[in-house]
Amino acid sequence: MVLSFFYKSALIFIIGPSAASIILFEIILNTMAMFNHSNINIPMKIDKSLRFFVVTPDMHRVHHSIERSEYNTNFGFNLSIWDFLFKTYKSAPILGQQGMEIGLKYFREEKYISPLVLLKMPFLKGHDDS
Distance from first CA to last CA of the chain, Å, rounded?
28
Question: Is 30 contained in some domain?
Answer: no
Burial of 65 (C-beta count, 10 Å sphere; 0-12/13-18/19+): buried
Q: Given this model, what pLDDT does residue 1 score?
A: 66
Name the residue range of residue 45's domain: 37-123
Q: Is residue 2 part of a domain?
A: no
Number of domains in the chain: 1
The model carries a pTM of 0.73
Would 17 be classed as within a structural domain?
no
Q: Looking at the domain assignment, is residue 14 inside a domain?
A: no
Of 129, 109, 121, 26, nearest to 68 by C-alpha is 129
Grade residue 38 by pLDDT with cuts at 50, 70 and 90. Answer: very high
Per-residue pLDDT at 113: 81
**Distance between CA atoms of residues 56 and 62, nearest Å:** 11
Q: Of 62, 120, 127, whose CA–CA distance to 91 is shortest?
A: 62
